[in-house]
Structure 1
């Protein structure tokens, strides 16, 4: 039994969808199909849903087609912009490489000049010591000559007093030979006195000449000292700035290198010590300070060889991807990129960026053919996607050694080098080290 609500709904549907009949006539019979309001409503709703779905699907397809066209166009524009930027970076990198080579030549020239100046300094120091010794000998000779001259004068005065005190009769009765002996003695004494005076004058002139030479030598030493000190400043400051730009504490780094090389040479010894118990001169103190600065410079150079302050490739390459989050080339999603990518020709030589020991040389999932090198200061470098590996595990390599050939092994879309720098196991931007050494090497 239908309820009042059902009756009202049926009446409402009757007004909107009156009952209809569809007749089906054959040769011998006629039949009809009865279409109730409810049936017509269901059919109308289904048809409406079908039409609506068709409209929505068509709109979605049109919007997706339009959006895809815009996205491809935007992607082409982005790719063109990115290519221009990469070309500009490549030109800048080549220019920086040329500047680095020029800086290296200037550094080597300064170092050669420092070595030559050091040799001149040591030679001049030895010459100065010899001149000081000669002056002391001349002064001693001069003092001896003065004493002998005074003694001769005293002897002459004594003889004159004795001659005056003698009785005139004794002088008159003295033999001529005795008078001749006294005259000869007086003549010899006068000649010795004149010779001593001449020797003293020559010694004074020689002393003046030596003092002039010492003065000129001191001026030359001052100039050498000044040039050496300027050379030390020019050589040490760029190295110190390079380490600090890379975020490496120079005090700790230098101390670690000094401990590692403590068996070579030992502590610095001053240039010379006085055998008379005197304190060393200001020039010797200054020279010792320069030697300490040169030792500091040598420690900086050793430390620089052990840190990755170099580019792993020297041929013409493109910098295709940097350190940080990027769009994954395989999936298109945002992923962290822990290194820098350099795209180049297949087989391009790859070089070690610092001294170290090979800890891995083989296949690793995702990286393909991979080379890992452990360096000092907790640093490790990775060279991935190689076509060929040219080192073995445990092999000790130096900066600039050929370790692999560029390829596209592992998870890669094309020939390139994936280069990583890890400090205590944590990835760090490799360009920090490469840019820090741009004006030094």
Structure 2
């Protein structure tokens, strides 16, 4: 036996022999594998998902695109409808104005007892020409085209009537306010004091004031004519004529063509006159008619 050494540890008790290859008491780790399982943290997982392409959202929604186009077309159609409505309203106003003017023109000629056919035949025609191409409205014509067609027809009729009325003496022979010193009809003769027929209107005016022709025509008399003194007579065609008496000066010659507003002479007091004024007559087929009838027609025509 081996003697005990003081302070030395006691040798372990002998037990069965341990095999070198025997497994230790703690569990063995899992064997190493070629497959690696990686688990991403939740926030990382979310970031990865957000980067994943979503094919459903790449292509725009076709229905949404069509709806947008429909909205644009609807707004455009509404805008065009509003423009067309305004245009139709303007055309309606223009059409009513032209029709009203045409009615007044025809009414004036009727009231004056003039023959429309004769006046239209004698009316001057402008220099124009070209092949005849009739205007037709297609079956597909809309309200705008039909209304514009009517307006053009009415405008042509108004222009023709204007040419016709250029031969009717309804304008004033002197400028300024109309003031009569003597009217048409029976009156007391200023020289004899007896009733006598006054065949015209006496316009108050000063010596030298311009006298203007009241319609287109041709001068058929220009000179001294008895009680008229210096007098100008203009033939307007279709039996219509005007006379301008007591002139101090005459500015036209027989055979001269004159147009509305041309100055044919100056106011005076020649002939059978008591003072400066214009004696003005309108005649139909040689017979004197009241000039006020024509002047009222002029007021009516200028009303609109």
More moved, 234-243 vs 332-341? 234-243
Bigger relative contact order, structure 1 or 2 (CA pairs below 8 A, ≥6 apart): 2
- Could you tell me which residue of structure 1 aligns to residue 160 of structure 2? 299
- Could you tell me which residue of structure 1 aligns to residue 125 of structure 2? 261
- Whichever structure has more helix as a proportion of its residues is 1
Matched positions, count: 243
- Could you tell me which residue of structure 2 aligns to residue 227 of structure 1? 93
- Could you tell me which residue of structure 2 aligns to residue 406 of structure 1? 267
Contiguous gaps of at least 5 residues in structure 2: 1-58
Deviations 1:35-85 (A, max 9, x none): xxxxxxxxxxxxxxxxxxxxxxxxxxxxxxxxxxxxxxxxxxxxxxxxxxx
Structure-1-length-normalised TM-score:
0.48
Q: Within 5 A, what are the aligned runs for 1:23-422?
A: 204-205=70-71, 207-249=73-115, 251-252=116-117, 255-256=120-121, 260-261=124-125, 264=128, 270=135, 278-315=139-176, 318-422=179-283
Q: Tell me the CA shift for residue 311 of structure 1.
A: 1.6
SS of residue paired to 1:306: coil
Contiguous gaps of at least 5 residues in structure 1: 1-192
Deviations 1:308-358 (A, max 9, x none): 111212256752222222233333333322212224322222111112221
CA contact (8 A) 2:99 2:154 kept: no
Structure-2-length-normalised TM-score:
0.67
Q: Structure 1's 198 and 440: CA in aligned 2 closer, same or farther, altered over 3 A?
A: same
Q: Structure 1's 210 and 255: CA in aligned 2 closer, same or farther, altered over 3 A?
A: farther
Q: Structure 1's 312 and 364: CA in aligned 2 closer, same or farther, altered over 3 A?
A: same
Q: Tell me the CA shift for residue 288 of structure 1.
A: 0.9
Distance across 2 between alignment mates of 1:354 and 1:215: 47
